[in-house]
Amino acid sequence: MNKKSILDDILEEDKSVYVQQEDEYLEVLLEEINLISDEAIRSFVRSVLLQASDFWIVPSSFSGKYHPPDEHGRGGNVLHTKRVTRIANTICDSYSVSGEERDVILAACLLHDITKGVNHSDDTFQYDPMHPYTVNKFVSDVIIHDKKYANDAHSSSLFMQEETVQSILRLVRCHLGPWSPIPETYPITYMDYIVHVADNVASKLHTYIDDSELINDKWTRQ
């Protein structure tokens, strides 16, 4: 019988410390990340989000014309991402989408806007209209980084099959639908449409409930 060594105990303790540190950083989206059942996909999403520093700071709307008002300020992009992921999860429930397909959809929702904006040194934000496509390059850089520095104690992109990565990136590229800067990138499959519809609905939530005096206060950012 194989017995755990003292070194095994130390390595497990170190790993728990790293996981706790990551969880603290990812706390705002942890509930949504944990909707992903596949450990490799979940670790991939965590690794990408941990390296996407601007994502956590930028607003969801840079002009102030679109998206609910509580997403217009600093960190609004994260709130938008929570809403998109939860809506997509509900749609998956409605259509009994499960297994890897569901995990790929949720991963795409969590990563669809990671390169949406740039935070400049003077704390101003710049929108990237090509962000559905620049995610590809960002993910490639994360994979290169993980190959050099990742280990078993950290979340990593290295456990993912390339085919699964490309499936996630396809959904990201299609998420703007008819508003895509590249017309050829249009939702075709039901997975494409789930991500696109979830993003579109989340960006218009405030217009759907605008007439309700009971709910209006929720759009006031504290």
Per-residue pLDDT reduced to its tens digit, 106-143: 999 999 999 998 878 777 888 999 999 999 999 999 99
Q: Quick one: the chain helix, strand, coil %, rounded to 5?
A: 60, 5, 35
Can you tell me whether residue 38 is helix, strand or coil? coil
CA–CA separation, 16 and 33 (whole Å):
18
Can you tell me the mean pLDDT for 170-193?
93
Cα distance between residue 67 and residue 59, in whole Å: 10
Give the tens place of pLDDT for each residue, 25-47.
Answer: 999 999 999 999 999 999 999 99
Which range scores top for mean pLDDT: 118-122, 182-186, 209-213?
Answer: 182-186
pTM: 0.87
Residue 222 CA to its chain's centroid (Å):
24
**Taking the C-alpha atoms of 171, 174, 177 and 180 in order, what is their torsion angle to the nearest 10 degrees?**
150
pLDDT in tens, 74-100: 899 999 999 999 999 999 999 999 999
Checking if the pLDDT of 13 tops 60, the result is no
* The predicted structure's pLDDT at residue 217: 59
